[in-house]
């Protein structure tokens, strides 16, 4: 008889912070107390609060233990499960009130979220189809199979669901276009090639709730008239592949996939295709080529995949998060879906919150939530008492939202007005110490590396832009650089073949728009106002603070610091390599960086 369930978050972040050894310790301790028959240990998908991991939740109480180690895991067993005493030291402390919070449901990080896409993530055992079914899983499929394909497309269209992959194209349109397209067979493809740095929304769904995507793709197959689906997932997600593969097998066993699904006469199956790690394969035409076994390079649209996709046949392609919305739209209806979010961007959006913010992790909020709510209410604000400077959205294809727009509701259209994009949901918070020129250079460098090289503007243009950005950050900026960057950015945006190239200049354009003063400081004053760009820094010794301990002189790798013991030291600027070692080793705050 099971009396307790221990849910361990087995999302990527928790695994890297030691989830496996925590699990082993829990099982060992349960065995040593001979209660292994009474307590079940379940590994779930990502629970979202990544900076608190490894996370263990004890049910039925719902006690939320954070930052669990193998040692403290034993305490959870010996104290909580054997003696019935909550382990106070492992509870979350509310930063403002300093109160311990026993239940995960009461942690502000969670209370503000609306979990629809992630409703099962961190709640069910992703390897258990029964648990998925117990949460109404495959009910949508059964419902859909009794509807006409046109009615299903009608509901999806009416829901106003827009593609969560980045561009926000209306999903119902795509479904209808694929259904209406001439040609057979037709295909259904799921884009799980999540490549934005720091983004892991799709990965979490695939790892934590794989059946929701299988169910949705099957519904899509029925709606558009396809019998074969492909899940394209990147090789860097081995756990997602493993769990999805397992889920496929279970779905087939239960008759949710394969021949004559649920006796409806409709047959559908899904194969996994693993990407080899090229970012551009997230672009739909490149992805389709990759599935065909060809080099993943984009082609000109039109024809769109709905007209001529996989092997030139009509193909529906949506991303993981988009699909994950579908089952609930079918079971609960379009109106329910529209009950949250903004009128033109209904529903929720999952963000991967990262950067200079207290609580990092995966959050799902209604479209139209303000950046302030995301950063300060859910994210817990900026660490170290620093000021919020900007949020980067849309990864390398996006741009920044500045502090002036903290109260603007975020949805597909509002972010576009600010010159950035929603993207797949990466949200990097930058504090006052961030150099925006450096940030733009970082993202541009990513695109330069990931450009497929097919078209001139993306291949050569982004490279030239990066070259200029590098010069600027190295203090070799010249008059005319801003104009040249703008000229290049415009043509790269205007003439690149696919979305990757067309959006590649966005980080530069966006920072040029809002932080041109920082560019000017770098170019004309040879200063990095945020003290990030190494080449633009000057290290000096403050004579009145220096006690002459010689620590800096001894550590300086370029022997640039001289001075007698107990007397103020001096840095020879001609020798200084600006490595920052002196700044690090000085215990008296005597090294100045400007």
Partner 1 sequence: METRMLNVRINGRAYEVPEGITILKAAQEYANIDIPTLCYLEGISEEGACAICVVEVKGAKNLQRACVVKVTDGMEVWTNTARVREARKLNVELLLANHPTDCFTCEKNQICRLRELAAEVGVREVEFPRTRSEWLPFDETSLSLIRDPNKCVLCRRCVNVCAKVQSVYAIDIVGRGSNSMVSTFLDEGLGNVECVNCGQCLLVCPTGAITERSEIPGVWKALGNPDKVVVVETAPAVRVAIGEEFGMPDGTQATGKMVAALRGLGFNQVFDTDFSADLTIMEEGYELIGRLKNGGTLPLITSCSPGWIKFAETFFPNVLDHVSSCKSPQQMFGTVTKTYWAEKMGLDPRNVVVVSIMPCTAKKFEKERPEMKTAFHYWQEKLGLRDDEAFNDVDYVLTTREAAQMIRESGMDFANLPDEEFDRPLGESSGAAVIFGATGGVMEAALRTGYEVLTNRTLEKLEFEDVRGLAGIKSAEVDIDGTILRVAVANGLGNARALMDQVQKGESPYQFIEIMCCPGGCLGGGGQPISDHPDVKQRRAEAIYREDAGKPIRKSHENPEILEIYKEFLGEPNSEKAHHLLHTEYCDRSCD
Structure tokens that stand for 151 in this block: 């009615």
Nearer to partner 1, 134 or 276 (CB): 276
Quote the least distance from Cβ 283 to partner 1, whole Å: 13
Residue from 460, 549, 580, 585 that binds partner 1 (CB under 8 A)? 460
DSSP state of 479: T
Nearer to partner 1, 40 or 299 (CB): 299
Nearer to partner 1, 293 or 302 (CB): 302
Q: How many CB atoms lie within 10 A of CB 576?
A: 17
Residue from 448, 469, 482, 509 that binds partner 1 (CB under 8 A)? 448
Contact segment (CB under 8 A) with partner 1 among 65-73, 153-161, 199-207, 454-462 equals 454-462
Pairing of strands 4-9, 56-59: antiparallel
Contact 391, 369 (CB under 8 A): no
Contact segment (CB under 8 A) with partner 1 among 18-26, 346-354, 492-500, 568-576 equals 492-500
Residue from 488, 508, 533, 552 that binds partner 1 (CB under 8 A)? 488
Indicate the helix (H) or strand (E) that contains 323.
Answer: helix 320-332
Note whether 561 binds partner 1 by CB under 8 A: no
The H-assigned helical ranges of 17-120 are 19-32, 70-75, 108-111
Nearer to partner 1, 198 or 445 (CB): 445
Nearer to partner 1, 53 or 461 (CB): 461
Quote the least distance from Cβ 108 to partner 1, whole Å: 40
Note whether 579 binds partner 1 by CB under 8 A: no
Residue from 145, 239, 491, 576 that binds partner 1 (CB under 8 A)? 491
Which residue pairs from 532-535 have beta carbons closer than 8 angstroms and sit at least 24 positions apart in sequence? 532/433, 532/434, 532/435, 532/438, 533/435, 533/437, 533/438, 533/473, 533/474, 533/475, 534/578, 534/579, 534/580, 535/473, 535/474, 535/475, 535/578
Residue from 88, 151, 449, 594 that binds partner 1 (CB under 8 A)? 449
Note whether 422 binds partner 1 by CB under 8 A: no
Residue 69 φ then ψ, to 5°: -110, 170
Residue from 135, 386, 416, 454 that binds partner 1 (CB under 8 A)? 454
The residue count of the chain comes to 594
Residue 230 φ then ψ, to 5°: -125, 130
Note whether 464 binds partner 1 by CB under 8 A: yes
The DSSP bridge partners found for residue 229 are 188, 270
- For residue 203, is it left (φ>0), alpha (ψ between -120 and 50) or beta? alpha
Distance CA 429, CA 514 (A): 16
| Helix 436-450 and helix 516-524, axial crossing angle in degrees, nearest 10 | 90
Note whether 457 binds partner 1 by CB under 8 A: yes
Note whether 456 binds partner 1 by CB under 8 A: yes
Note whether 167 binds partner 1 by CB under 8 A: no
Residue from 461, 505, 507, 529 that binds partner 1 (CB under 8 A)? 461
Count the site residues for partner 1 by CB under 8 A.
34
Of 308, 213, 298, which is closest to residue 256 (Cα–Cα)? 213
To 10 degrees, the CA torsion angle through 86, 89, 94, 96?
140
Note whether 476 binds partner 1 by CB under 8 A: no
Instruction: Kindly list the residues in this chain that would bind partner 1 in the complex (CB under 8 A).
Output: 278, 280, 295, 297, 299-300, 302, 448-457, 459-461, 463-464, 467, 484, 487-488, 490-491, 493-497, 502
């Amino acid at each position: 008889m099971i009396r307790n369930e221990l849910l361990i978050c087995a999302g990527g972040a928790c695994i890297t912070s030691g989830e496996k050894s925590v699990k082993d310790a829990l099982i060992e301790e349960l065995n040593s107390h001979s209660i292994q028959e009474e307590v079940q240990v379940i590994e779930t998908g990502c629970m979202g609060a990544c900076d608190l991991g490894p996370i263990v939740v004890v049910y039925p109480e719902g006690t939320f233990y954070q930052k669990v180690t193998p040692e403290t895991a034993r305490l959870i067993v010996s104290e909580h499960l054997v003696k019935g005493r909550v382990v106070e030291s492992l509870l979350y402390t509310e930063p403002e009130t300093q109160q311990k919070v026993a239940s995960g449901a009461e942690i502000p990080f969670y209370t503000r979220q609306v979990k629809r896409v992630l409703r099962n993530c961190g709640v069910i055992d992703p390897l258990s189809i029964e648990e998925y079914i117990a949460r109404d899983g495959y009910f949508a499929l059964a419902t859909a199979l009794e509807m006409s394909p046109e009615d299903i497309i009608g509901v999806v269209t009416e829901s106003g669901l827009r593609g969560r992959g980045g561009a926000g194209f209306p999903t119902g349109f795509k479904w209808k276009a694929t259904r209406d397209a001439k040609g057979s067979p037709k295909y259904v493809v799921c884009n799980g090639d999540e490549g934005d740095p720091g983004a892991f929304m799709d990965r979490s769904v695939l790892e934590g709730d794989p059946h929701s995507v299988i169910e949705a793709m099957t519904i899509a197959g029925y709606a558009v008239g396809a019998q074969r689906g492909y899940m394209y997932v990147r090789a860097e997600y081995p756990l997602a592949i493993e769990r999805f593969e397992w889920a496929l097998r279970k779905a087939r066993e239960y008759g949710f996939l394969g021949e004559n699904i649920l006796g409806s006469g409709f047959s559908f199956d899904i194969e996994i295709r693993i990407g080899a790690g090229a970012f551009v394969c997230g672009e739909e035409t490149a992805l389709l080529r990759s599935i065909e076994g060809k080099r993943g390079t984009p082609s000109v649209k039109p024809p769109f995949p709905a007209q001529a996709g996989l092997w030139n046949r009509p193909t529906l392609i949506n991303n993981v998060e988009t699909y994950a919305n579908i089952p609930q739209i079918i079971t609960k209806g379009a109106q329910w879906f529209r009950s949250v979010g903004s009128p033109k961007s209904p529903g929720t959006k999952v963000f991967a919150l990262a950067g200079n913010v207290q609580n990092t992790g995966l959050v799902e909020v209604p479209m139209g939530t303000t950046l302030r709510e995301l950063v300060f209410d859910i994210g817990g604000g900026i660490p170290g008492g620093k000021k919020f400077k900007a949020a980067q959205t849309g990864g390398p294809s996006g741009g920044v939202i500045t502090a002036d727009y903290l109260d603007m509701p975020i949805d597909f259209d509002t972010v576009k007005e600010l010159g950035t994009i929603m993207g797949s949901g990466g949200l990097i918070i930058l504090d006052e110490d961030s150099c925006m020129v450096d940030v733009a250079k970082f993202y541009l460098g990513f695109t330069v590396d990931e450009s497929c090289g097919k078209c001139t503007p993306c291949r050569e243009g982004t490279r030239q832009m990066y070259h200029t950005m590098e010069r600027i950050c190295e203090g070799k900026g010249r008059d005319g650089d801003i104009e040249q960057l703008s000229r290049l950015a415009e043509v790269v945006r205007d003439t690149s073949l696919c979305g990757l190239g067309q959006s590649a200049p966005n980080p530069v354009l966006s920072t040029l728009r809002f932080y041109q003063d920082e560019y000017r400081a770098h170019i004309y004053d040879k200063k990095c106002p945020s003290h990030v760009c190494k080449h633009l820094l000057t290290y000096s010794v403050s004579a009145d603070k220096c006690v002459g301990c010689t620590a800096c002189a001894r550590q300086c790798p370029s022997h640039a610091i001289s001075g007698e013991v107990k007397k103020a030291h001096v840095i020879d600027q001609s020798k200084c390599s600006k490595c920052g070692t002196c700044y690090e080793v000085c215990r008296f705050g005597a090294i100045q960086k400007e």
